[in-house]
Structure 1
Amino acid sequence: MPHTENHILQIKRSIEQIDIKGQYINLASPIYLSGQFNITELLAQYSNNIAQGDAGSALQIGVDEAGRGPLLGSVNVASAILPRAWSGLIEEQPLKDTPLSILTDSKQLSEKKRDTLYPLVQQYALGFIIADIPAAVIDQVNILQATMLGMRLCTEMLLEAIAAHLGTPMLKVEVLFDGNRCPELNYARLEGLGIKESMIDCQAWVKGDARHTSIAAASILAKVSRDTTMYTLDAQHPEYGIAKHKGYPTKAHLEAIETYGVLPAHRRSFAPVRKALGN
C-alpha cells in the first residue's frame, strides 16, 4: 500500500470529564488518547461499499487492553482497524506475506517481536487509538470499569472519525472486544453524530487476541505503549525494579513497596498497596 500521498489525521485528546450512564463524572486524573486515521486508505477500501449500500461487508475494529493485573501504573487500551484484506481470523492467515505476518496475541510474542510490530501496526492500520487510563481513575471507578471506559472511548473515537470522513449513513461496523463482555457505548452521543446503533455490532471474543488479526493488532498497541510507560517509571524509580516486573505483584515488587513505600503511580485500591498504606 502506498503511504506517500495518504491524508493522515492525527488524533490527540485529553478527557477530564466523562458521561457514564447519563451522569457526568469529573475524573481524578485525565485520560489521554492518541492515534491516527488514514483517511485516503479508508475511503479507497470502503467508499464503494457505502455508495452501493453494501451492508454485507462490515468494517472491523479490534479492541484490547494491557495492564489490568498490575499494582502500578495505567491500564492501556487500544483499538485498531487493519486494511480490509488483512482483517480476519488468524488461522485463515490473512496476514501471510504482509509486513504483519508474525502478528498474533502479544502474550505469545517475544518483547523484541512486539517492539518490531508496534510501528508497523501504526504504519499500516487504517486507524488506531491508544488510551492511557491512569491509576487515579482506576482507584476512582475500579479496574473493570476503567478498562471498559478505555474500550468505550477508543471505540467511540474511531467511530467518530469514520463517520466524519465516510459520511453517514455509513457502512456496518463490527467492534470486536477481547474478553467476555462489551462496554456500553454512549449511543445517544453517537446518534447525534449520525451513527445509528443498528450500524454497530459489538462482539465479545474470549482469547480474541489469539483469534482475530484486528484484536491482535490492538493488543500490540496496548501492550507496547504500556511497557514504554513502565520503562519511563523505572528510570525515575530504579530501586523498584519496574523494568523487570512491569508493575505486576511479584515478590520483588512487593518487597520494594515494603522497603521504599508507595509511589504516586501505585493503585491504592489494590489490596497489597492498601495494606502497605495501612488501610
Structure 2
Amino acid sequence: MATAAPVDMFSWERQLREGGYRCIAGIDEVGRGALAGPLVAAAVVIPTGSNDDPEMTSGWMAIRDSKSIAHRRRATIAKWIHASGAIIGIAAVSHEELDEIGLAAANRCAMERAIRALAEQPDMLLIDAMTLDFDTPQIGIIDGDAQSLSIAAASIVAKVHRDAIMVELDIDYPEYGFARHKGYGVAAHMEALRERGPCPSHRRCFAPVREAVIARGDAQTID
C-alpha cells in the first residue's frame, strides 16, 4: 500500500512570496473548547529568506500542527520559533470576555488582537478555517495548521503560551488539575466540577459549567 506524500507545509507561503507578498502572517487560536481559562491566539510571520536557507528550512520543517506534537517537543519548538527572527504577536480573550461576547466573537477578537500585536503589520493573512474583518488580503485554509507552516507555527506558539497560563492557574486552583488537562473537559475535570462547582476562571457560558452550577444549587453564580 503506497504511503501518502508528505504535505509541503511551505507551499502557501512560497507561492504568495513569488506573487510579491513579503509579510505573510499565519494565525491560529487555542483553547476554544476548554471549560476554563482564556482563549489565546498567535500570529507568526516566518523570516524572509527562510525558504532559501537550508539550515533555516530544516528548523522550520520540524514544525507541524501543535496537536500532533508531544508537550516537551512543542515547548522546545516554540522556543526555537521565538529565537528564529520570526515576527510574533500573541493575544488573549479572558474567560470573562468570552462569557460576555460568546465563543465565536471571542475567537475572532483574539486573532485580530494577535495580528495587531505584530511589530510589523502583514500584507497577507493565512488563517485556520476562517477569515476576519480586516482590509488586509487573507486566505482561510481548512485544516490550516496541517497545511501552512505559518499557521502551524502560530498554533504551537499559542498552545505553549496558553499552557503556561493554565499551569499558573493550577497554583491558585489545584483541585481542578488545570496543569494536567489545561481546562479541557476530561473525566477528572468534570468530576471536580461536579464535586466543587466552578472556580472563578471557569467559563460560565459553557454548558458543562452551567450544569455544574445548577446541580449545586448555586444558580446565582452563573451570571
Q: Does 1:135 align with 2:124?
A: no
**Cα RMSD (Å) of the superposition?**
2.4
- Give the Å deviation of 1:155: 1.6
AA at the equivalent of 1:71 = L
Unaligned runs of 5+ in 1: 1-48, 164-171, 186-196
1:6-25: CA deviation from partner (whole Å, max 9, x where unpaired): xxxxxxxxxxxxxxxxxxxx
Give aligned pairs, total. 198
184, 196, 206: which one aligns with 1:270 = 206
In the TM superposition, what are the counterparts of 1:21-32 in structure 2 within 5 Å? Answer: none
One-letter code aligned to 2:125: V
Correspondence for 1:211: 147
Contact 2:87/2:120, CA 8 A, preserved across alignment: no
Counterpart in the other structure of 2:7:
none
* CA distance in structure 2 between the aligned counterparts of 1:236 and 1:59, rounded to whole angstroms: 40
Equivalences for residues 72-83 of structure 1 within 5 A: 72-83=36-47
Question: In the alignment, is residue 84 of structure 1 matched against residue 48 of structure 2?
Answer: yes
Aligned CA distance change for structure 1 residues 240 and 87 (closer, same or farther; 3 Å): farther
Rounded Cα–Cα distance in structure 2 between residues aligned with 1:67 and 1:120: 22
Identity of aligned residues (%): 34
SS in 2 for 1:230: helix
Question: What residue is the counterpart of 2:9 in the other structure?
Answer: none
**Correspondence for 2:133:** 184
TM-score (norm 2): 0.81
Instruction: Give the Å deviation of 1:152.
Output: 1.2
Q: Deviations over 1:39-63 (max 9, x none)?
A: xxxxxxxxxx9xxxx9724421000
Query: Aligned to 1:240, which of 176, 186, 208?
Result: 176
Comparing 233-242 with 64-73, greater Cα deviation is found at: 233-242
Q: Which residue of 1 aligns with 2:117?
A: 157
TM value normalised by structure 1: 0.66
Deviation of residue 214 (structure 1)?
Answer: 0.8
Alignment counterpart, residue 125 of structure 2, candidates 175, 181, 184? 175
SS in 2 for 1:268: coil
C-alpha distance 259-176 of structure 1, shift in aligned 2 (>3 A): same
Contact 2:198–2:213 (CA under 8 A) maintained in structure 1 = yes
Amino acid at match of 2:27: V
The answer to which of 146-155 and 262-271 deviates more is 146-155
* Shift in alpha-carbon separation, 1:125–1:217, aligned structure 2, 3 A: farther
Alignment-derived partner of residue 259 in structure 1: 195
Letter in 1 for 2:168: T
AA in 2 matched with 1:175: L
8 A Cα contact 1:175 1:202, kept in partner: yes
- Quick one: structure 1 residues 157 and 231, their matched pair in 2 at CA, closer, same or farther if it must change by over 3 Å? closer
Which of the numbers 86, 96, 111 marks the counterpart of 2:71?
111
